[in-house]
Structure 1
Amino acid sequence: MAAESSPPLTRGSIFAQAWPIMLGQASVPLVGIVDAAVVGRTGDAAALAGVALGATIISMVFWSFGFLRMGMTGLTAQADGAGDRREVEALLLRSLLIGAAIGAALLALHWPISWLAFTLLSGGAEVSHEAAGYVSARFFGAPAALCVFAINGWLLGLGRTRAALALQVVVNLANIVLDILFVWGMGLGAAGVGTGTAGAEWIALAVGLAISARIAGRGPMAIIRGLGWATLFDRAALTRLFAVNRDLMLRTVALLFLFIWFANAGARQGAVVLAANHVLLQFVSVAAFVLDAFAFTAESRIGQAIGAGSETRFRRAIRLTGEFSLLGAAALALLFWVVGDMAINAITTNPDARNAASTFLPFAALIPLLGMPSWLLDGIFIGATAGRALRNAALVSTCAYLALDLALRPWGNLGVWAAFSASYVLRAGTLGAYLPGLLASVRRSAAAR
């Protein structure tokens, strides 16, 4: 179960590992674009704004448990780098059980969670009605979605990026087909988008379990019989898992709150501005997901370097993934600047939403360059399972962003986008302050071997 024969750290091997992630990640915001386009082409700004608000709420809830993906990648990569196959298998089972339990709890509690979310976020009666249908449907996919987080993290930690790509392509194609069926075919509006996405998440779980069983050479029940319950619930391993996941959860919640604040800042200015900002967020999502290919590669390579106790591989992994990240950011910024208006017109037919999105397109085009350092640093620290640094940096940068947004509120949507753009610089700066300490820790660990 090696990380695809443990390829050497060269530019070629980095790109070979990253390109499947890039394709898979690029298809994630593509689904968001299709979601927006399927509803946007109906010309109903309220329905489009409802999808935007509902997607924000679901992201807030589901990605609060994104540690199931991030924590798994770093821990799995370190176990794989150390050659501990039993721990690699145990990590998959532990995270699947945790994901299923949390997902079931979310489904059981979705009414009070939804009520609280709509109490905190304002969008107007019509927009909130559309968003409620979307949110309610999405909760039925919660158990599957969280288990897929765990499977994806496990695959990425092993460097099995082609398998992760196959899983992502299957779920995204299913999502697109089901969205079109429920929205255009059955006229369900925002609720149809939510229903289609929930159905795709269950399909993804079935495919993900089949892929992981093939890689492990045996299914979940066979793994349990082989390992034994004592190994699966080893106290020291569980303590480490929960410690890493706790810090990553707090980090994720802080960053999700930042995005929710941004969405609500648009909602305060009406359905048109909210819809326009949601369209522009698709550009941001494309940049984040594409450049995450190199951040995810960094997670795997950093984790394997730490597991193997190699400072040389650690530093080289940072340098090579950094080179690709910078080139990718520059290319995306140029692409958004050139084709941005055409993309906006393709996503929505509402003239007011088009005009508003076009006005603030320069901010969306700049974000790949501003966001690249923070996304790459995330990958480095996740691979190192340095949860405490990730948590502290996220809390500090989010608080600084909130203060800046409040100060710029008189500027309207210009202030909203200025503060949002600055948030990426704040994230990179606060997390970068921990990098010298991480390097020193790796050096001491390598010397102790």
Structure 2
Amino acid sequence: MASITHRRVLRIALPIVLSNATVPLIGAVDTGVVGQLGQAAPIGAVGVGAVILAAIYWIFGFLRMGTSGLVAQSHGAREPAETGAILMRALLIGLVAGAVFILFHRALFALGFAIAPASAEVEALATRYLTIRVWGAPATIALYAVTGWLIAVERTRAVLLLQLWINGLNVVLDLWFVLGQGWGIEGVASASLIAEWSGLGLGLWLCRPAFAGGQWRDWARVFDRARVRRMVQVNGDIMLRSVLLQGAFTGFIFLSAGYGDVTLAANQVLLQFLEITAYALDGFAFAAESLVGQAVGARAVRDVRRASILTSEWGAGGAVALGLFFWAAGPSIIDIMTTEAEVRSVARVYLPWVAVAPVLGIASWMFDGIFIGATRAREMRNSAAMSVGIYALAVLALSGWGNHGLWAALMVMNVTRALTLGAVYGRVEQAAR
């Protein structure tokens, strides 16, 4: 295994940071293009439709993380046949899941509208949008597997290229279909559909080493019972962990509503700071996934420790820098996000919480990357369960502090995740022995 250096960490992390920076672009362009139609309903329809799809696709985020950890270990163990087999298994999961999504899409969309009701006009337009977008489900879910494979083998520049291609093509087709051809909301959906399938095609081409030698057609290996069972177990634990954490964040929004519309709006604005944090620092956690996973596969305990330390140092530095940036530029960012004076004022009151959030949360986020690389998903699941439970107790105990108590409870959850994962870090190094 090559030496783990600061340069190697940055070579993996920085393309991911740049790739993540393009993610918000697509939603902004979709909204902006539809906004040129001069009607409010299409804007709302695209927004509602995108939220429903994001909520469903989010469930399959485990496919990226599980693929990344398993492939990194096989790559570190110099088992190219297994890296190809893992990708094939993940692609099959993605394609089958997408097909099931298409089969049951009417019921899923009806459930989405029941949870987030809108006007009859918006729901009708959103249905037209979703009926087209749903055909991209197999490609979108399979792309999680592609991304995980590329991260595991340190080809994050390819991840950046893939993201730029998908988002860039989407933007060009948006402008052509909607403004040039006058297709309206169907044009936005069609642009996304074409971008998703072409992205999968490009992604498979970027993963061509996984298909070299025909190992991907070694069906005895692809469907090996022990390997499939391990993949299911790892992915299942990661999915449960993610559901628990998403439940905590969803609860945060619901509880915010109890403090009034203005506080709810202010919290929603401030949560965008946490989203920025995730996009900015994900690169270092992904570097940990790749390097720790390869070290575990190579049975190199010292490299596991060095990878954990170096990636965490960069993550901590980034967290401090972000915290200082939010403290200094936060008021200006809030003013950009909302023009409502009362929301601006309330958001400023709670701004210190998001300024300290990167510093208090970085350890838990880095441990996520480290444990994913070591495929210690059970520990991640248990940590999430314990942390969400303590979060619920903290919400009750700090309810007298109002919205400050709610933010404090969220910080308690992140610190608890760090402490519980840190307490069993030894199992990560043990996995490399």
TM-score range, shorter chain: 0.7 to 0.9
1:170 paired to 2:160? no
1:387 paired to 2:349? no
Whether the 8 Å CA contact 1:70–1:382 is kept in 2: the answer is: yes
How many residues end up aligned between the 2 structures? Answer: 431
State how 1:66-77 maps to structure 2 within 5 Å.
Answer: 66-77=61-72
For the residues of structure 2 that align with 1:273 and 1:40, how far apart are their CA atoms?
A: 27
1:352 to 1:241, Cα distance in 2 relative to 1, 3 A: same
Out of 415, 419, 424, which is 1:425 matched to? 415
Cross-structure match for 1:3? none
State how 1:174-189 maps to structure 2 within 5 Å.
Answer: 174-176=169-171
Cross-structure match for 2:3? 8
1:371 paired to 2:361? yes
Whether the 8 Å CA contact 2:73–2:296 is kept in 1: the answer is: yes
State how 1:308-319 maps to structure 2 within 5 Å.
Answer: 308-319=298-309
1:30 to 1:129, Cα distance in 2 relative to 1, 3 A: same
Out of 192, 205, 208, which is 2:200 matched to? 205
Cross-structure match for 2:242? 252
Shift of 1:327: 0.4
1:368 to 1:141, Cα distance in 2 relative to 1, 3 A: farther
Shift of 1:367: 1.7
Whether the 8 Å CA contact 2:80–2:210 is kept in 1: the answer is: no
Report the 3-state secondary structure (helix = DSSP H, G, I; strand = E; otherwise coil) of the residue aligned with 2:22.
helix
1:88 paired to 2:78? no
Out of 323, 327, 333, which is 1:333 matched to? 323
Cross-structure match for 2:282? 292
State the TM-score, normalized to the length of structure 1.
Answer: 0.82
For the residues of structure 2 that align with 1:181 and 1:416, how far apart are their CA atoms?
A: 45
State how 1:349-360 maps to structure 2 within 5 Å.
Answer: 349-351=339-341, 353-360=343-350
Q: Deviations along 1:165-193, whole A, 9 cap, x unmatched? A: 1112222334555667789897978x987
1:399 paired to 2:389? yes
For the residues of structure 2 that align with 1:34 and 1:240, how far apart are their CA atoms?
A: 41
Shift of 1:385: 0.4
For the residues of structure 2 that align with 1:195 and 1:417, how far apart are their CA atoms?
A: 40
Higher alpha-carbon deviation: 55-64 or 285-294: 55-64
1:423 to 1:187, Cα distance in 2 relative to 1, 3 A: farther
Whether the 8 Å CA contact 1:295–1:378 is kept in 2: the answer is: yes
For the residues of structure 2 that align with 1:361 and 1:406, how far apart are their CA atoms?
A: 22
Higher alpha-carbon deviation: 34-43 or 159-168: 34-43
1:40 to 1:71, Cα distance in 2 relative to 1, 3 A: same
For the residues of structure 2 that align with 1:180 and 1:283, how far apart are their CA atoms?
A: 29
For the residues of structure 2 that align with 1:72 and 1:179, how far apart are their CA atoms?
A: 32
Shift of 1:75: 0.6
Shift of 1:158: 0.7
* Aligned sequence identity (%): 43
Whether the 8 Å CA contact 1:43–1:349 is kept in 2: the answer is: no
Cross-structure match for 1:321? 311
Q: Identify unmatched segments of 5+ residues in structure 1.
A: 1-5
1:103 paired to 2:124? no
Shift of 1:267: 5.1
Out of 254, 262, 271, which is 2:252 matched to? 262
Q: Deviations along 1:328-365, whole A, 9 cap, x unmatched? A: 00111112222223333334445555445444333222
For the residues of structure 2 that align with 1:367 and 1:182, how far apart are their CA atoms?
A: 41
Cross-structure match for 2:149? 154
State the TM-score, normalized to the length of structure 2.
Answer: 0.84
For the residues of structure 2 that align with 1:242 and 1:36, how far apart are their CA atoms?
A: 38
1:196 to 1:296, Cα distance in 2 relative to 1, 3 A: same
For the residues of structure 2 that align with 1:416 and 1:333, how far apart are their CA atoms?
A: 19
Report the 3-state secondary structure (helix = DSSP H, G, I; strand = E; otherwise coil) of the residue aligned with 1:242.
helix
For the residues of structure 1 that align with 2:54 and 2:352, how far apart are their CA atoms?
A: 25
For the residues of structure 1 that align with 2:253 and 2:130, how far apart are their CA atoms?
A: 16
Q: Deviations along 1:340-395, whole A, 9 cap, x unmatched? A: 23333334445555445444333222221122111100001000001110111112
Question: Residue 309 of structure 2 aligns to which amino acid in structure 1?
Answer: R
1:398 to 1:391, Cα distance in 2 relative to 1, 3 A: same
For the residues of structure 2 that align with 1:342 and 1:193, how far apart are their CA atoms?
A: 31
Question: Residue 108 of structure 2 aligns to which amino acid in structure 1?
Answer: I
1:209 to 1:375, Cα distance in 2 relative to 1, 3 A: same
Out of 1, 11, 15, which is 1:20 matched to? 15
For the residues of structure 2 that align with 1:175 and 1:375, how far apart are their CA atoms?
A: 30
Whether the 8 Å CA contact 1:52–1:274 is kept in 2: the answer is: no
Shift of 1:311: 0.6
Shift of 1:76: 0.4
For the residues of structure 2 that align with 1:362 and 1:112, how far apart are their CA atoms?
A: 42
Whether the 8 Å CA contact 2:74–2:83 is kept in 1: the answer is: yes
1:79 paired to 2:74? yes
1:49 to 1:227, Cα distance in 2 relative to 1, 3 A: closer
Question: Residue 372 of structure 2 aligns to which amino acid in structure 1?
Answer: I
Shift of 1:401: 2.0
1:209 to 1:374, Cα distance in 2 relative to 1, 3 A: same
Q: Identify unmatched segments of 5+ residues in structure 2.
A: none
For the residues of structure 2 that align with 1:47 and 1:361, how far apart are their CA atoms?
A: 33
Whether the 8 Å CA contact 1:54–1:132 is kept in 2: the answer is: yes
1:223 to 1:413, Cα distance in 2 relative to 1, 3 A: farther
Cross-structure match for 1:304? 294
Higher alpha-carbon deviation: 310-319 or 28-37: 28-37
CA RMSD of aligned residues (A): 3.7
Whether the 8 Å CA contact 2:291–2:307 is kept in 1: the answer is: yes
